[in-house]
A and B are shown apart, each in its own frame.
Chain A
């Protein structure tokens, strides 16, 4: 799993995402992408409401099950 980044999510929130993802059986590589996405949104590096990069990251998230990270 990725470490939290400066300005990213609170550690408590990250650990809750990891736990929920594990319980749901989400593959590790997908969880890593989800955490990175959340970190980038939390730090203000990514605007979740618009942008092609956001679209690309979400597409990768949904379609990326089983793909290598």
Chain B
């Protein structure tokens, strides 16, 4: 990001009326604005800081009033013009001294917004503390050297762009939060894993039980078959038994066959709604009646032609002859092309065919018949069993023993079949983890496996997320340390140039500037430290800010001024200095260094104090708004005397 100050405007404030546009097309590297004391250098610098930070929104009435011109204006305006990455940007502040308030406006890209609204690329640098670094505040060097301030550390974060690491870390966390909304946590994963293990174990246990039961059932059935055959052989030795058994078996077979037939019939009738419930029949009647009253297009209705052909008279009144009837029926075939009419008519025909089918008995009759058939089959089976029991009772011990064994085996078979049926049945909605339904447990295993897999994936992703954030945090910490060492070294090299022979060195800059073996320094040294810190920082990172300084060399001796004039062109991308006439050795030196990119203004108001300056005005120079003279050019800037005899 590259921010350049391209112009300033001030009106109705406690400063000279200004409307400066730096350079022609693009701002020069150095702009010096020479203003006598009392013309508002400090006011303009304060407004510039407020314009870039938005801090004026929180100013109180007294602070706002402090910008009011002594003559008592009702309103004031400050406007700072910039170039942000090559695009023009304006930040304005309107002072309402009656309401004692300030409102902002911002112009960038899409037009003018009636509020303080910086483009995102600049907004992150809108912190008032940060703005004071490049819209230089004379008190800043002192603050940098004070233990109560972490401004030096924050400046490192800004210029080395360490905030990028924090922003990425926050973005990663934000993304993660979006991913895991409602998802399983590590705790949830463990719980579901345990649950899955329990369900799997239970399913395995029941499957083993089923296998045992099925094996036992096969054994019981084989045994039962053998023993039943033996018993039958044994009892079959009695003629009467054989005879009665043959009769009863025949009855059982007949009953079973009839039951099968009745069952098939019942199932067939269940497919016919009219046989299931009377309601279907009445509903069908209503439908047919509705279809009859349906107003079909006469020309396309088959029913119309069919009905017409059956009438004694035609609609024209003439008698319906057989040839007319035949003609109407034949013509209808050509005229009935409408699919809808065809479907409706087919529907009516089908409905009528149902109604005409009076041979169909109701489902109740079928059900009653089915029940009777079942009873008949059961009675036949019972009679056969009774025959075996009775005969066995009367038979010998071996037969009795065989009968008992068969009964026991039958009981076992029944029990096993029941158990197997319970294990192999289809799942029901009432099933839960206490169920013995193997199919339900199988479904539950699959469900839990999916949950566990998803939770495990998220847990793995969270580990990645945490690792990445750890890397960003630790690299920011490490980079801050490295930057600190690098900056201290570079600062001390610069200090040696600004203050040669003074032996002033910086020991550390975190969290504030600490001097090696020195507690305090004079104003010039303090300013030199500030310059060495800032100019070193300005060389770092990708961002370029205008370096705006009020009285940049006040307190510096001639040697330091010369050194600063040599350093600034190498470090600052743009320098704007509000200077006094006693800083001309500095401005001359800078001009020597960067002659092609230097601009000079002399600004003063038409007051008795400034009369000596007005007397030296070049031909044609006139006062602008508010009686302010703005003279552009180096010659006047460098030669004008501020007092009649050249003494200040």
Contact = CB atoms under 8 A, between A and B. Distances in A.
Interface of A: 7-10, 12-13, 15-17, 19-21, 23-26, 30, 34, 37-38, 41-44, 47-49, 54-55, 58-59, 61-63, 65
Given A30-B464, A34-B472, 5 more contacts: A13-B161, A16-B479, A38-B168, A42-B161, A49-B170
B261 interface: no
B120 interface: yes
Interface stretch (B22-30, B70-78, B171-179): B171-179
B468 A20 contact: no
B470 A62 contact: no
Contacts of B486: 12
Contact of A48 (B168, B465, B471, B540): B168
Q: Which of B120, B170, B171, B541 has the most CB of A within 10 A?
A: B171
B83 to A, nearest CB: 16
Given A10-B160, A13-B475, A59 B175 contact: yes
Contacts of A21: 471, 475
A48 B175 contact: no
Contacts of A9: 161, 164
A68 to B, nearest CB: 16
Contact of B465 (A19, A38, A55, A62): A62
Given A41-B167, A44-B1, A48-B167, A12 B160 contact: yes
A35 B121 CA distance: 20
Contacts of B171: 48-49, 54, 58
A25 to B, nearest CB: 8
A12 B482 contact: yes
B175 A58 contact: yes
A24 B172 CA distance: 17
Interface of B: 1, 120-121, 160-162, 164-165, 167-168, 170-172, 175-176, 461, 464-465, 467-468, 470-472, 474-476, 478-479, 482-483, 486, 540-542
Contact of A20 (B168, B478, B483): B478
A52 to B, nearest CB: 11
Given A26-B467, A41-B164, A12 B542 contact: no
Nearest to A33: B468
Nearest to B462: A62
A30 B172 CA distance: 14
Contacts of B1: 44
Among B167, B474, B479, B482, chain A packs the most CB atoms within 10 A around the CB of B479
A41 to B, nearest CB: 5
A7 B542 contact: yes
B542 A17 contact: no
A50 to B, nearest CB: 9
Contact of B162 (A13, A49, A65): A13
Nearest to A63: B461
A20 B542 contact: no
Contacts of A30: 464, 468
Contact of A16 (B167, B470, B482): B482
A8 B171 CA distance: 18
A10 B161 contact: yes
A17 to B, nearest CB: 4
B183 to A, nearest CB: 14
A62 B479 contact: no
Give the 6 A-B CB pairs with smallest separation, nearest first.
A20-B475, A16-B479, A48-B171, A16-B475, A17-B475, A16-B478
Contact of A44 (B121, B162, B475, B479): B121
B551 to A, nearest CB: 32
B167 A13 contact: no
Contacts of A7: 542
A43 to B, nearest CB: 6
B170 to A, nearest CB: 7
Contacts of B471: 17, 20-21, 24, 26, 34
B160 A62 contact: no
Contacts of A13: 160-162, 164-165, 475, 479
Contacts of B470: 20, 24
A42 B175 CA distance: 19
Contacts of A19: 475, 478
B464 A43 contact: no
Contacts of B121: 44
A24 to B, nearest CB: 5
Nearest to B470: A24
A51 B40 CA distance: 45
A62 B176 contact: yes
Contacts of B476: 16
B402 to A, nearest CB: 72
Contacts of A47: 120
B120 to A, nearest CB: 7
Best-surrounded residue of B170, B475, B540 (most CB of chain A within 10 A)? B475
B172 A38 contact: no
B160 A37 contact: no
B175 A62 contact: yes
A23 B479 CA distance: 15
Contacts of B120: 47
A28 to B, nearest CB: 13
8 contacts: A8-B542, A9-B164, A10-B160, A10-B541, A34-B468, A38-B164, A58-B171, A62-B464
Contacts of B164: 9, 13, 38, 41-42, 48
A26 B468 contact: yes
A36 B168 CA distance: 12
